[in-house]
Structure formats: structure tokens, C-alpha cells
Structure 1
Amino acid sequence: MEAEPSRSDITEINSTISDATSPPLVTGRARSILHIECCLKTHSTVRYDVIREQVEKFLREFKTSLLCHSEISDFQDVALLKENVEYMIVAEAGCDTSEIQILENVDLNIHVYQLNEDDVVEEYQEEENVLTANYWDLPARALDGLWNNLIFDENIKTRLLDYVYTTILFADRNVNSNIISWNRIILLHGPPGTGKTTLCRAFAQKLSIRLAERYSHGKLFEINSHSLFSKWFSESGKLVQKLFQQIYDLIDDDDAFVCILIDEVESLAATRKTALSGAEPLDAVRVVNALLTQIDKLKQEKNVLILTTSNITEAIDIAFIDRADIKQYIGLPSQQAIYGILSSCIKELMRVKIIIEEEFLLDWRAVELYQHTNSIDDPSIRLYSICGKCQGMSGHNHIAHYLNINQKIHKT
């Protein structure tokens, strides 16, 4: 039976990960930890601890409060930061859900990192020239910004982070996994086009940033599940063994945190159910059994996390579902979530001057408050109305629907 972390657990976890001194208590409550993410320029050679100290000094001297999920851009007057920092972001504040954080009431956890400029590396089967896996060195430039631009109705992203913080705390305290079981597996399931795979990649990127003081770099190893079935009888099991040997080679590096992504895991886990009707049932069953065996071995490693996705939950083998610590449904976005998605896209087009900014787009909460009093010509109100028409759609058909609506807008 899995143990759910309490609020005090999460506060302790955050402190443990940053190797910081336990925060002082204020009127019987632990101070919140506000996460600041500081990305250095590629050419920067300044030590991370020097940047961390300078960022905290700057924030304490020139800021009284900070807005969560916003960018700090006014550090240009500090020479060291101007020369070395590419951007700085205010993330979340631990268990405190308040959007505005008063700095005198929080402890700052400043995460300093540099983006890896290398492209994704593709691995192929030599004999059959089939793509078996992709892997990234993290944090990667190619995945930069994904996490902050993923918008869900539930607090899914915070839950995922808290889960990893909990597994790290349990491992540090040598919690007996036979008593409190955790397998280091997350399953995201739901209809296509809801951002499951993108969330997994963004989550791996986020962990490489958040765990930078513990692990100097991260790895994302994305398995092409369809490649594990060979056209040659009895060869599939060997492919699984060979693939996981690559994973073990990555995990052997104690300075790396390794995320393994198995997309559309039902193509593997469903095989055991239907294998008996196939031409080579024993080989198919052997593959799935080998995969489950390898996954069971990985849970003993401290620096690994398995991320899986599925579009067809009913097709997944119950043995795999039982191994997942988190089974999170990712549904179609609501009107509010769609507004957040489309407004972030429009803001990006404004940033690069494809759209000439004329009026500021409101937060969806403000739109709901004022939509019955403001003019229908207000850009935020019009966009929110469009988002209402997009409900029930996935990301795959948002674009086509939006283009169709957009033709009508231009005619008004």
C-alpha cells in the first residue's frame, strides 16, 4: 500500500534535495520554499554557487514580492548577472499555492543550470535499420520552455514533482520497499493529443534542473516500443536485453539522473493478452515478460525514473498497471485550459513580432469576471469565446478548428 506524502513531508523533501539547512519555524509553521530557475548563457564559466549567491542577493535587495510562474527580466543592472544569465524564472512555492509570494516569508531555492545544445541522438538496430530509441542529454535546448507552456486543469505537474521528491526522500532514508512499495513508474493515460508524451519529456527536463545539485546532468532515453518485436523468431527477447544494457550503462553514471520514456506502452503490455492468437505467441509473451523483469530490476536504482504513456488504458496488461506508482488520467482540456494554451501561443507570436501587440491578453480568471460587462470586441473575450468552441477537442484538431474560426473573425 502506497503512502501519500503530507504537507510537512513535502517541505522536508524540498529542503533535503537542495541540501539546505532546515528552514526556521514561524508561528509553528515551516516557511515556504520558493523555487527560482536561473538559466546561464552557453558561454558562461562562472561557478553555479557564485551565481546562486548573487541571484539571492539581488532578489533580497531589490524585490519585496514575486509573482509565481513569471519571468524576472530586470537584473541587467547587475554586471555579473547581465553577462552570464540568459533568463530567470519564478516557479512554484512548494505547498503554498498563493500566486504572489512575500520574500521575507519564504526561503529561496535557486536552481542554476546551462542548456545542452546537442541534438537528439538516434539509436538503430544494426541488422534491421529500425529506430530503437532516442536520447537527450538534459537539460536540452530542444526541450526548453516545454514545462512552463503545458497547461492542465488539475495540478498534475506539482503532483509529479512531489512524487519524485518523495521517492528521493524514501531512498535517502533507506525506507524498506517491501513495506512501503514504490516502483519508480508513472503511467499517463488518456485520449490522443492531450500532451502526455510532451509532458513526459518536459518532466524529465524539469527534473534535470531541479536535481542539478544532486546530479550534474540528466538523460532522457525514449524507447520505440514497436522496435522490440523482431521479425525473426526468438530474437525479440535479445533485443530487450540489448536495449536495457544500454540503459544500465547510463545508470552506472552516479552523476546522471536517467528518465526512461516508453510511449504507447499498450503496444507492449497488450501483447501478452493477444499473443495466443498470433503466429508466434511464445516469442511475444517472452518479450513482455522480459520487459517486466527488467523494469522490476530498475526499481533498485536510485537515479532512474520510468515514464509511460497510453492512449488505450483498457488494453494495458494488469501486471504493468499494478507496477505504476502514479496512474494519472490526462483528459481533453477545458475552456480555461484551452484559453491558457492559445493565449501562450499568441504571446509567443507577439514576442517575435509576427502578431503586432495592441492590447494585453487577460488571465482567464479576469476574462470570466468581466466577459459579461466588457465589449465583445475585446481580444481576450473573443479568444475565450473561441476556446469555448474548441472544448472536446485534442491538440491534434485544435489547429484546424482554429483556422476555420479565424476566417470568420477576419471577416468581422
Structure 2
Amino acid sequence: AEPSRSEITEISSTLPEDILPPLLTERARSTLHIECCLKTHSTVRYDVIRGQVEKFLREFKTSLLCHSEITDFQDVALLKENVEYMIVAEAGSDTSDIQILENVDLDIHVYQLNEDDVVEEYQEEENVLTANYWDLPARALDGLWDNLIFDENIKTRLLDYVYTTILFADRNVNSNIISWNRIILLHGPPGTGKTTLCRAFAQKLSIRLAERYSHGKLFEINSHSLFSKWFSESGKLVQKLFQQIYDLIDDDDAFVCILIDEVESLAATRRSALSGAEPLDAVRVVNALLTQIDKLKQEKNVLILTTSNITEAIDIAFIDRADIKQYIGLPSQQAIYAILSSCIRELMRVRIIAEEEFLLDWRAVELYQHTNSIDNPSIRLYSICGKSYAHFLKSWATTTLKDFLKALEHVVDNETIGRKLTLENQGEGEACKMLINERN
């Protein structure tokens, strides 16, 4: 028989504490993240605000609701004068909605929003937009992260990945033994929020890493602009673009996120070049881009975010380099309900919708939808979401079981899909053909 908890405790009490596994010592405490945005005019030091916020919460709160706003700090003069808003975020791996403060550690992130608009970079000769540039955290991206809703715990997974890369860098993990490239690939149908998630993620990192990096940068590359109509000029464009990126990375106080949107456009160009439809200059451009990306993985303050609308067209070289290959699919009925209910609450807040009806959580709606009247606003909204979900499922009505299982596999095990897309030890031209044939 297995030993009881008391027997384990008695045995463990005779052993040195530093050799015991965590489960035999004191239970690990969760870390509750609090995000505190200062007013633009505030000049108070962040550590002073951080200490005052923790003192306020410990003295006046016994528990906090995750993903909610704290509004009752107005009685504390320093906070009233300097704090614009305060948000309770997540509690690490603990998925409980309510957190008891005596059981958690508080990680308080203090920051100020940058009021500058996005800066656009253009090619001088061809007047083509090459990149967008943000100073983070930016007012234009404020609140974006919290309003993105996905079925899977995608956002937590992305944050955990970055925390892990920072830990590896701090501990000087040998990258020749444990390799990571600082690249994330989001792929899936158009309009599912991939690019928006990348921007919101960069904004979130500038907040979460504020104690380590005083500010963040987001450099969004227009992949279509990397190919010049003039022979041999494309390579110079890539070199010039990445020189700007290296200038940003040289600032050790900045965390730099690079976003390459619609990365499949690079893959299509390379395949065309290999087949003779495009000049070999295009191949050299893509190879130069991959070389520059490989160099960036040595830097501690950079992260590369990529997106693709066409999974089948993603370049094999990008698949091989991505540490995370995350499929972003169409939302479920539950996710649609969460999205629409948040929109309705916002319209109620500004009095566009006059009747302030209380909208239930989708879990409560599923529990009560068979007992309550359809006149209940929450149940009616959930029914509408079901029709919306069924609308895009209708296109699957005549699909084969084989195709359905492939699509299901995308959602359930995106990492496996990423590995399947990586055809190791194959020639690139042959690999692309095999990938297309497999998908067809």
C-alpha cells in the first residue's frame, strides 16, 4: 500500500530540506500578477508605487478576482494621484478565478503608456511600406491582450515560453545542447487574430518585463517589401532593414519584438525561383533573411513573431526554426459568446445599449439553458453564437473523414503538426512538393 500523507511528512522531517522534492516540502505558492498603469504626468519612482500597491492590497483585500479591475484605491492619496488603472491578471499555472491573497505572492508590474503613434518606414526609391515601428507599451495597443479570447490557453503558453527563454539565458544554458531560436509561428485561417495577438503579445511583454527592460520595441516587417523590382537590390533592402533592427537591439534596456506577417509569401517566392519562374535573386533574398534570423538568436533581448494564413505554404526553413508552432483556428461557440458578451458590456458601459442586463458566464449559460426561457438575454446570445459557429461548419458538410481528422489534428496537437511539416533530410524543392501533395 502507498504511504499516507502523515507517514510521508514524518519520514521527510528526518531528511535535509534541500534534498526534498517540492511536493514533500511546503506547497509552492502561486504568483498573482497585478498590472498598474501610471498616469502620463506621473514622475513617482516605480518601486515606490509597487510598494504602495502591495501594501494597499495586503491591508484592504483578502481575495482578488482574476482578470478584473481594481477601482477602490482612490482613498490612498499617492495611488489616486498617479495610477490610471490597476488590473488583476492571471495567477501563473493556477487557473482558479478567485485568489486568496495570503496564499499567493504578488508580482506587481508598474508601467506608463507611450502616447506616440506608430512610425511607418518606406523605401525611398519605390515608396513601398517596409516596416511599422512602435515604442512599447503603446497607448494604441492598450487593452488588446485582455480582449483576445481563444479556446486553448494560448496566451499563457506564449508567456511561459518567453519566461523560459529568459531563464535559460540568465543561467547560461548551452545553446549547443539545448537549442532555442526565439521564434514563434502562428498559423491558421485568415481573420482569426494572429497578427493582433502578436502585437498584443509584444505589448504584454513590455509590461511584464518592465523591471528588466525599461521599454519595448515592436518592429513589424512587411515581407512583400523585401523583393525589389531591380535586380540585386533586394539583398540590400534586407541588409538595410536588419541594420535598423540591430541598432534597436544594441540598446540593452529595450526588449525588441520583430513581427514578420504573412511569412508564406517568402515561401511562395522561393518555390517560384527554384522552378525558374522567378530570378535567383529572390532565393538569395530569402536565404539572407534566414541567415539574419539565425544571427538574432544569440541576442537576449529579442523575440521573432511570424504569422501565416496558409499552412501548406509555410517555408520548411521557417517551420524548422520555430520553437512554438501554434495553430489559431476559428472560435468555438463558447469563445464566440465570450467575445460578443464583452462587446455588449462595452456598449452598455457607454450607454449605447440602455438596458444593463447582467450577462452570465458561458459555463453558467450551458448549465441553465435547458431550464430557463429563451427570453433570457444570456441564453439568447448563446443560441446566436451557436448559429454563428454552425455557419462556418457547414462548409465541412461533405468533407471526407480523412480531411476532417487532419483538421482536428491541427487543433488538438499543433506541435505534432509542426513537426510533420518539417521534412528533415529532404531537398527543399522536393520537400515543398511532398508537402503540397500530402495536403491535397
Per the shorter chain, which TM-score range? 0.7 to 0.9
Moved more, 268-277 or 294-303: 268-277
SS of aligned partner of 2:262: coil
2:128 to 116, 127, 130: 130
Alignment of 1:204-353 (within 5 A): 204-353=202-351
Over residues 291-318 of structure 1, what are the superposed CA-to-partner deviations in whole Å (9 max), with x where a residue is unaligned?
0000000000000000000001111121
For residues 41-75 of structure 1, give each alpha carbon's deviation from its aligned partner in whole angstroms, at most 9, with x where no partner exists: 11111111111111101100111001111111111
Contact 1:18 1:213 in 2 (8 A): no
Cα displacement string for residues 1-59 of structure 1 (whole angstroms, at most 9, x for unaligned residues): xx999999999999999999999999532211100000011111111111111110110
- In the alignment, the residues of structure 2 paired with residue 213 and residue 19 of structure 1 have an alpha-carbon distance, to the nearest angstrom, of 31
> 1:349–1:22: structure 2 CA closer, same or farther, 3 Å change rule?
farther
How many residue pairs were aligned? 395
Bigger drift between 274-283 and 194-203 goes to 274-283
Check conservation: 1:139, 1:208, Cα contact below 8 A: yes
Q: Secondary structure at the match of 1:33?
A: strand
CA distance in 2 between partners of 1:343 and 1:22 (Å):
47
Q: TM-score, normalised by structure 1?
A: 0.88
**Local SS of the residue matching 1:25:** helix
- Change in Cα spacing, 1:42 to 1:17, as seen in structure 2 (3 Å) is farther
CA distance in 2, matches of 1:115, 1:191: 32
Would you say the 8 A contact 2:272–2:278 is kept in 1?
no
Distance in 2 between residues matched to 1:296 and 1:12, nearest whole Å? 53
Q: How far off is 1:95 after superposition?
A: 1.4
- Per-residue CA deviation, residues 324-368 of structure 1 (Å, 9 max, x unaligned), is 000000000000000111111111111111112421111111111
Deviation at 1:281? 2.4
Q: Deviations over 1:244-274 (max 9, x none)?
A: 0000000000000000000000001332222
Aligned residue for 2:15, secondary structure, equals: helix
- Tell me the C-alpha RMSD between the 2 structures: 7.7
Q: Is the 8 A contact 2:9 2:24 kept in 1?
A: no
1:5–1:240 CA distance, 2 compared to 1 (3 A): farther
TM-score by length of 2: 0.82
Whole-angstrom CA distance in 1 between matches of 2:190 and 2:94: 32
SS at match of 1:188: strand
Query: How far apart, in 2, do the equivalents of 1:200 and 1:131 lie?
Result: 19
Partner of 2:437: 406
Distance 2:274 2:4 in 1: 45
- 1:153 maps to 151
Change (3 A) 1:303 1:21: farther
Q: 1:23 to 1:256 in 2, by over 3 A?
A: farther
> What corresponds to 2:167 in structure 1?
169
Large movers: runs of 4+ above 6 Å: 3-26
Aligned CA distance change for structure 1 residues 227 and 48 (closer, same or farther; 3 Å)? same
Q: Secondary structure at the match of 2:14?
A: helix
Q: Any residues of structure 2 matched to 1:10-21 within 5 Å, and which?
A: none
Distance in structure 2 (CA, Å) of the matches to 1:347 and 1:307: 32
Task: State the Cα deviation string for residues 195-250 of structure 1 (Å, max 9, x = none).
Answer: 00000000000000000000000000000000000000111111000000000000
Please tell me whether the aligned partners of residues 12 and 24 of structure 2 are also in contact (alpha carbons under 8 angstroms): no
Q: Deviations over 1:360-407 (max 9, x none)?
A: 111111111111111111111111111111xxxxxxxxxx999xx999
Structure 1 residues 112, 11: closer, same or farther in 2, change over 3 A? farther
Compared CA separation, residues 138 and 24, structure 1 to 2 (3 A): farther
> Does the CA-based 8 Å contact 1:11-1:30 persist in structure 2?
no
Ranges in structure 2 where 5+ consecutive residues have no aligned partner: 393-435
Looking at structure 1, the residues matched to 148 and 13 of structure 2 have their Cα atoms a distance apart, in angstroms, of 26
* Contact 2:64–2:101 (CA under 8 A) maintained in structure 1: yes
* Distance in 1 of aligned mates of 2:2 and 2:162: 12
Q: What do the CA deviations read for 1:266-295 (whole angstroms, capped 9, x no partner)? A: 001332222134554211101100000000
Partners of 1:11 and 1:94 within 8 A in 2: no
Aligned residue for 2:146, secondary structure, equals: helix
Structure 2 residue matching 1:306: 3-state secondary structure:
strand
| CA gap 1:133/1:5 in 2 versus in 1, 3 angstroms | farther
In 2, Cα distance between the equivalents of 1:72 and 1:270?
Answer: 49
Name the CA shift for 1:21/1:94 in 2 (closer, same or farther; >3 Å).
Answer: farther
Rate the CA distance shift 1:18–1:77 in 2: closer, same or farther, 3 A. Answer: farther
Higher mean C-alpha displacement, 256-265 vs 349-358: 349-358
Does structure 1 retain, via aligned residues, the 8 Å contact 2:113–2:137?
yes
With over 3 angstroms needed to count, the CA separation of the structure-2 counterparts of 1:323 and 1:178, relative to structure 1, is same
Distance 1:127 1:324, change over 3 A: same
Q: What is the rounded CA distance, in whole Å, between the counterparts of 2:10 and 2:193 in structure 1? A: 31
Task: Evaluate the alpha carbon distance shift between residue 351 and residue 94 of structure 1 in structure 2; reply closer, same or farther with a 3 A threshold.
Answer: same
Distance 1:54 1:294 in 2: 44
**C-alpha contact 2:269 2:278 (8 A) present in aligned 1:** no
Larger Cα Rg: Structure 1 or Structure 2?
A: 2
1:211–1:315 Cα change, 3 Å? same
CA distance in 2, matches of 1:95, 1:298: 30
Residues 197 and 339 (structure 1), Cα distance of their counterparts in 2 relative to 1, 3 Å cut: same
Q: Which runs of 5+ in 1 are unaligned?
A: 390-399
Q: 1:215 touches 1:255 (CA, 8 Å); kept in 2?
A: yes
What is residue 42 of structure 1 aligned with on the other side? 40
Q: Is it true that 1:203 corresponds to 2:193 in the alignment?
A: no
Tell whether the 8 Å contact from 2:260 to 2:305 is kept in structure 1 after alignment. yes
Verify the 8 A CA contact 1:257 1:303 in the aligned structure 2.
yes
Are 2:267 and 2:313, in contact at CA under 8 Å, matched by a contact in 1?
Answer: yes
1:54–1:166 Cα change, 3 Å: same
When residues 45 and 18 of structure 1 are mapped into structure 2, their CA distance, relative to the original with a 3 A threshold, is farther
